[in-house]
Structure 1
């Protein structure tokens, strides 16, 4: 797995390079500039390649299989979010695709084994956080009501994935706290999108924060055990 360490370090360096560039651009334009598109694409495709490669190296482990397929769906979601797949609303396209990806991650966690007590604890914690957060920071009367309700449903969906990741760690402990951390980062990433794109609130460097937490989440889920 030495090549995976090299790839991981390369991805971190690539992200840091893109972040420095985006911050400098933001200072010039006075806008929250995102990572350059080519860096976003390199990150998402290299993460998918890493997930597939780890599956090939360990085909008998269901976790690797479901994570690899989930990452493929996540890549499609990234393409929707970047506007590279023609669709009426990029956010909806991304949400639907990522929702399926999260189902595949949950399958990976279930195949590995979870604690149902841990799941209930996660449901209480994440559920409370997401409902309160939606009510105070995301709910926006200026947006279409169906759209804001959809944001709550999707947030709870992502939170559900995080609950299963927590339940996985609660039972197995050791390295399995890493994907549990990834689940938390996913919740934070989507929460930032919710409060900016739907709630209409300004958060400094929000595109960079979204990608930092998103990439960190995917890395935690993909690279666990290397």
Structure 2
């Protein structure tokens, strides 16, 4: 169960996300987009700071690192229209964020659980996605391939927490990791394969949900 404070924050967080979607979709509100998008991660960082005081320092350090790198990635991707280099830099920022999540999730790995079956499913998914993207990637082929490997590893380490932490923490983090994969997949398809209707909405909703669920899942380690 989520606490009253967590439920209240989820409502506030949802309002911020909705504000970002609206400001990013309406041309006359584009300037507000530069406030709304960073506000999503900033609110999450402050919430985790207040709610995660009882967690161990190593856990908090990794969580803050992942959230701050994600915030940096969000900011960089807002300026992709100015230069393609911002996309690459944003990709690097999120790659580091995923590495931080991997290290965080590995702290509660269930060493008796094999990643093989789940890993095979992820590999099939990744190869199918890569097949669609490969002809359009150009110089981004290797960076995107590396990014895909890292995010698949992030999802796998989230899966490997099963039976090592309480079921609520496991479920929230695992679903969050899958949402992150979906968000990045939509972004990649929209950018490198073909435009997807309402992609900005689906990318933002799955991304924001992913970050929220992972934070809530880590907070549930206190239970």
**What TM bracket, shorter-length normalisation?**
0.7 to 0.9
SS at match of 2:56: coil
What's 2:179 paired with?
A: 185
Contact 2:108 2:164 survives alignment (8 Å): no
Whole-angstrom distance in 1 between the partners of 2:163 and 2:117: 10
2:14 to 12, 15, 19: 12
Whole-angstrom distance in 2 between the partners of 1:18 and 1:75: 14
Deviation at 1:215, TM superposition (A): 0.7
Deviation at 1:95, TM superposition (A): 1.1
- The TM-score normalised by the length of structure 2 is 0.83
Deviation at 1:13, TM superposition (A): 2.3
Structure 1 residues 141-160: Cα deviation after superposition (integer angstroms, max 9, x where no partner): 4x42x312321221121111
Whole-angstrom distance in 2 between the partners of 1:124 and 1:52: 36
SS at match of 1:46: helix
Deviation at 1:37, TM superposition (A): 2.8
Contact 1:189 1:209 survives alignment (8 Å): yes
Deviation at 1:102, TM superposition (A): 1.0
Structure 1 runs of 4+ with >4 Å offset: 20-23
- In the alignment, structure 1 segments of 5+ residues that lack a partner are none
Whole-angstrom distance in 2 between the partners of 1:160 and 1:204: 29
Structure 1 residues 64-102: Cα deviation after superposition (integer angstroms, max 9, x where no partner): 432122111111111111129x97611111111111111
Whole-angstrom distance in 1 between the partners of 2:49 and 2:17: 21
Deviation at 1:116, TM superposition (A): 5.5
1:51 to 42, 48, 53: 48
- The TM-score normalised by the length of structure 1 is 0.82
Alignment of 1:31-42 (within 5 A): 36-42=33-39
Deviation at 1:195, TM superposition (A): 0.9
Deviation at 1:128, TM superposition (A): 1.4
- Kindly report the root-mean-square deviation, in angstroms, between the aligned alpha carbons of the 2 structures: 2.8
Whole-angstrom distance in 1 between the partners of 2:120 and 2:163: 15
SS at match of 1:49: helix
1:77 to 49, 73, 78: 73
Contact 2:73 2:90 survives alignment (8 Å): yes
Q: How many matched pairs?
A: 214
1:140 to 135, 141, 152: 135
Whole-angstrom distance in 2 between the partners of 1:182 and 1:51: 16
Whole-angstrom distance in 1 between the partners of 2:55 and 2:69: 19
SS at match of 1:195: helix
What's 2:91 paired with?
A: 95
- In the alignment, structure 2 segments of 5+ residues that lack a partner are none
> Is it true that 1:221 corresponds to 2:214 in the alignment?
yes
Whole-angstrom distance in 1 between the partners of 2:191 and 2:164: 36
SS at match of 2:162: helix
